[in-house]
Structure 1
Amino acid sequence: WCYCDSQAKRMRTATLILALFTVFVVTAWANNPGLVARITDKGIDYARVKGIQSLQKALTKIKIPDFTGKFRIKHFLKVHYSFYNIIIRNFQLPSSSITLVPGTGLKVSIQNAFIELNGQWRVKMKIMRTHGSFRVNVKGLSASVGLKLGADGSGRPTVSTFSCSSHISAVKVHISGRLSWLYKIFKKSIESRLRKSLENKMCSVIQKSITEKLQPILQTLKVTAKVDKYAGINYSLVSPPTITSVSLDLGLKGEFFDLFHHVKIPFDASALNIPLGQNRMLYFGLSKYFFNSAGFIYHAVGALVKNITDDMIPKESKIRLNTTYFGLLIPQVYKILCNLYIYIYIYIYVPPPLNCSKETLKFTHQKRKDSSIILILPSELLKMSTKIFKKNTSILAKIGVVDNRITAKVNLDRLQMTLKHSDVGTFSVSVLNIAINFCVSWILLPEVNDLLAKGYPLPVMDHIKLSDITIEPKQNFLLFGANVIYN
């Protein structure tokens, strides 16, 4: 009884550990991606063409082993033969196809390939020796390989073969030289050995190409991309690739992060429902989570702060950041102080959320507690400030892609402000709007757009260039379509 009870406890413990491990694994892969990359049939076919071109080059380098053997003629004459220096002169793969294997990966098939080989032969008998050349025509070569797609511990995609088979319909050897009639005696043996050798070599070369060429290309996906001195982007896979009969999706984290400190994003990504499209090879679905995580991180590191001083304003402008000019707008300032410089301190209290719709892409300041404030301060020597609250404001964003980087240009609606607090008494903010809007439009926005023009890197592997780019706002995400050029 004690033994059975102890064994039952061990079984329960093992079951509990297995259950906890399963929960941990499922939870680790459960997060919705902030970015989904979809490879369409057009993109998969382009990969097939490039892959076949690379495979064809590799197959032409196959080394065929020498063949040796012996036989007797009429039980008394022993003949030794050898076929050597066998070189592939031509290897053509005229027909190939690629299909999706749901839940697993891809299946690549090659049909009706043919090979031309050249080589040397020699025959040695007791009474004589001779040699010559030969050529081989291999027809009806077919091969099928299954590719399993996955993800490694770093969040990069992986590929491996889970099946491979090859078959050759016909091998014809043509001999030239003296005594070539001897070839007829061992013709079937040589053709059979060549067929088996080539069939075995096909799969080994394909598997080697997958391991040494395709897998290293996938590993060039940068799972983290540095943006600037403040932030980077996490592009690691949140789950293995999702493969159906009609699509291949890569779910990427798509999240900005602080380069120096761990900062948890306080909101989650929503599920992305990318429509099926075949006009482009590749589609990127960037959820609003991607953009909003950027706003949160830049706000957290203190990057959404700006001081505007008088020396930033064009000299020809009539608007000056001093108490003389602002005294015209705020008479109380001029009565207390004259001919002193002031500066405008802009601080965004809460980063504006991005709203994606089917028509527009905009950042909107909603009615929140102190959504953002603009402070106008005299010289630091003075204990005096005016705090102005900015009302709802929309920032329209125009998005583009240049050199595999997301670029943007923003336009700001005219700011409308209300007075929240003043150390110099009340005054009319409507007149002040003119100066503030000038400073924002002529100083702040150009700086912001210069930074946005530098762009943010997209998760693209080495040697790949995006072209024919389309951009379309969808509900809660932005859809990029592109063709691919691989060099």
Structure 2
Amino acid sequence: MASLALLFFLIISSTFLFSHAANLQLQSSTAQDESFTSILVSQNGLDFVKDLLVNKAISSIIPLQLPATIEKSARIPFLGNVNMVISNVTIYKIDVLSSYVKLGNSGIAIVASGTTCNLTMNWRYSYSTWLVPFEISDEGRASVEVEGMEVGLTFGLENHEGTLKLSLMDSGCYVKEIIIKLDGGASWLYQGMINAFEEQIGSAVESAITNKLNDGILKLDSFLQSLPKEIPVDDNASLNVSFVENPILSNSSIEFDINGLFTDMKNVPAVSKNYRQIRQPSGFCTDQSKMLGISLDEAVFNSASALYYDAEFMEWIVDKVPDQALLNTAGWRFIIPQLYKKYPNDDMNLNISLSSPPVIRISEHKIGATVYADVIIDVVEADQVIPVACISLVIRGSGSVKIVGNNLGGSVKLDDLQMSLKWSKIGSLRMYLIQPVMWTLVQTVGIPYANSYLGKGFPLPIIRGFTLQNAEIIFSSSKVSVCSDVAYSESDDLDQVLINIR
């Protein structure tokens, strides 16, 4: 009964743990290079992330000071040589009118068009003329508005030893028009001459923004490859979420495939690695407008059950139940008379152990599980534990799930319970009399224990600051998928990532 509770705990919790990190080498070569978990980001999801990152990136790079001081000399009739200098050119505002992200076989392109930016700068003139015996100079501030600017980059994503490698394929910035307005000094006199700097200012803006893009891509690539390659679940288990193959790009979505299986922290291989993996078509969400889809193969759940079975965690001693009469031979006097006759009014324990890893199957309508367990009936007499009989159980259950905030909650119910006598020291047992008792124990102990966890739910792999909206759960042959839109509120985690790539 407790085995059923733990089983469904593993079923639900393993659904989410896969996404929190990256890659742990599995001991089985048959499963190591296969994908059992897919993450699909649709065009709407890409647009949402693009808008968010564009706004965050703008706020993280301004103010941006252009490093160059621009000088220019000109010979003007009657005045002689005029030296013109602009310095401390700083971009303090950027507005993006429109932007888009486009996927293709060559990579991912992000383009911002109709962009404007505002700059400030210092200007200074000096010249000497034969009309006066000393140098004439003037200086002031200027405001600059850059209009019709286009900024774009194209980058590729590929699997590099289980992590994502980002490579810059192209980047650039094009300035269409510059408007300069001078303040201070005899600005009305020099306005025409300062316009001669338009080309140099435009080139400096284009170069500064392009360099910033290039630096950001390099640092983002370094950040991606430095992500941890394993996530511990507990002291015994980790999850292999290494990327398998390259991301799959279509004209409207990008799919990431990861291994997703549980593996032993102590490098002890699980009993069975013959997981069957069926390639799931990219469109596993029926509503293609959903931003995000996460699909898990039943092999993820079976790897968890095999691992914990190998680690001998699926053994329990049950000595407390709601009806304590069930753990005293007096409560069994009409069910197993010979037990009560031989051990009258003695306390009992139920020693439960699984005879094989639980088997999880996912169909189009539900998650089902089959648990094979042995229940040894123990009599406790004068601090001595006496095994008297062993009953083999085949427990079949099913679960329902629902989204609660960013959690996946649900409940489990018992579908079927079959029994057979494995051995007995007290003679033949009437199994048809024992079956209702075992059913009651599973219903009153195992199921409530499991549902107490499942009702609270377990967190989905959502970055802090993001929340699921209008989520739906879809079951298919051997797969369970969560399809959802997302909303965003301010998150320190995302801000920290953007700081890291500045």
TM-score (normalised: structure 1): 0.83
Q: Aligned runs of 1:214-225 on 2, under 5 Å?
A: 216=223, 218=224, 223-225=229-231
CA distance in 2, matches of 1:30, 1:356: 22
Which one of 148, 155, 163 corresponds to residue 140 of structure 1? 148
Which one of 346, 356, 359 corresponds to residue 350 of structure 1? 356
Question: Secondary structure of 2:120's match?
Answer: strand
Q: Which residue of 2 aligns with 1:195?
A: 202
Which one of 237, 243, 246 corresponds to residue 237 of structure 1? 243
Contact 2:292–2:483 (CA<8 Å) still a contact in 1? yes
Question: Secondary structure of 2:269's match?
Answer: coil
Change (3 A) 1:215 1:459: farther
Q: Aligned runs of 1:238-317 on 2, under 5 Å?
A: 238-264=244-270, 265-268=272-275, 269-275=277-283, 277=285, 278-309=288-319, 312-314=320-322, 317=323
Contact 1:319–1:435 (CA<8 Å) still a contact in 2? no
Contact 1:145–1:165 (CA<8 Å) still a contact in 2? yes
State the 1:226 CA deviation. 2.9
Contact 1:58–1:209 (CA<8 Å) still a contact in 2? no
State the 1:290 CA deviation. 0.9
Q: Which residue of 2 aligns with 1:9?
A: none
Q: Which residue of 2 aligns with 1:10?
A: none
Percent identity, please: 20
Contact 1:114–1:139 (CA<8 Å) still a contact in 2? yes
Q: Which residue of 1 aligns with 2:380?
A: 379
Q: Which residue of 1 aligns with 2:232?
A: 226
Question: Secondary structure of 1:266's match?
Answer: coil
Change (3 A) 1:417 1:406: same
Which letter does structure 1 place at the counterpart of 2:53?
G
Contact 2:31–2:273 (CA<8 Å) still a contact in 1? no
2:43 pairs with 1:41 = yes
CA distance in 2, matches of 1:335, 1:148: 77
Which letter does structure 2 place at the counterpart of 1:227?
V
Question: Unpaired runs of 5+ in structure 1?
Answer: 1-26, 366-370
State the 1:241 CA deviation. 1.6
Question: Secondary structure of 1:372's match?
Answer: strand
Which one of 166, 181, 184 corresponds to residue 189 of structure 2? 181
Q: Across the two proteins, how many residue pairs are aligned to each other?
A: 447
2:396 pairs with 1:390 = no
CA distance in 1, matches of 2:300, 2:362: 12
Which one of 104, 108, 111 corresponds to residue 110 of structure 2? 108
Q: Which residue of 1 aligns with 2:139?
A: 131
Contact 2:397–2:416 (CA<8 Å) still a contact in 1? no
Change (3 A) 1:42 1:179: closer
Using the TM superposition, name which of 276-285 and 377-386 deviates more.
377-386
Greater RCO structure (CA 8 Å; 6+ sep): 2
Change (3 A) 1:340 1:59: closer
CA distance in 2, matches of 1:434, 1:62: 75
CA distance in 1, matches of 2:219, 2:31: 28
State the 1:130 CA deviation. 1.9
Runs of 4+ in 1 over 6 A off after TM superposition: 27-30
State the 1:98 CA deviation. 0.4
Question: Secondary structure of 2:244's match?
Answer: coil
Contact 2:146–2:177 (CA<8 Å) still a contact in 1? yes
Contact 2:32–2:259 (CA<8 Å) still a contact in 1? no
Q: Which residue of 1 aligns with 2:123?
A: 121
Q: Which residue of 1 aligns with 2:496?
A: none
Contact 1:419–1:429 (CA<8 Å) still a contact in 2? yes
CA distance in 2, matches of 1:123, 1:43: 52
Change (3 A) 1:172 1:50: same
State the 1:250 CA deviation. 0.9
State the 1:406 CA deviation. 4.8
Q: Which residue of 2 aligns with 1:92?
A: 95
Contact 1:29–1:238 (CA<8 Å) still a contact in 2? no
CA distance in 1, matches of 2:308, 2:351: 17
State the 1:49 CA deviation. 0.1
CA distance in 1, matches of 2:235, 2:407: 17
Which one of 447, 450, 460 corresponds to residue 448 of structure 1? 450
Deviation digits for residues 25-78 of structure 1, max 9, x if unmatched?
xx9998331110011111100111012102322453221233222222228722
CA distance in 1, matches of 2:209, 2:87: 20
Q: Cα RMSD (Å) of the superposition?
A: 2.9
TM-score (normalised: structure 2): 0.80
CA distance in 1, matches of 2:334, 2:208: 88
Change (3 A) 1:221 1:43: farther
Q: Which residue of 2 aligns with 1:149?
A: 157
Q: Aligned runs of 1:460-479 on 2, under 5 Å?
A: 460-461=462-463, 464-479=466-481
Contact 1:242–1:249 (CA<8 Å) still a contact in 2? yes
CA distance in 2, matches of 1:28, 1:350: 21
CA distance in 1, matches of 2:374, 2:481: 33
Question: Unpaired runs of 5+ in structure 2?
Answer: 1-28, 129-133, 492-502
State the 1:402 CA deviation. 5.4
Deviation digits for residues 281-304 of structure 1, max 9, x if unmatched?
110001111111111112111122
CA distance in 1, matches of 2:175, 2:290: 36
Which one of 63, 73, 77 corresponds to residue 65 of structure 2? 63
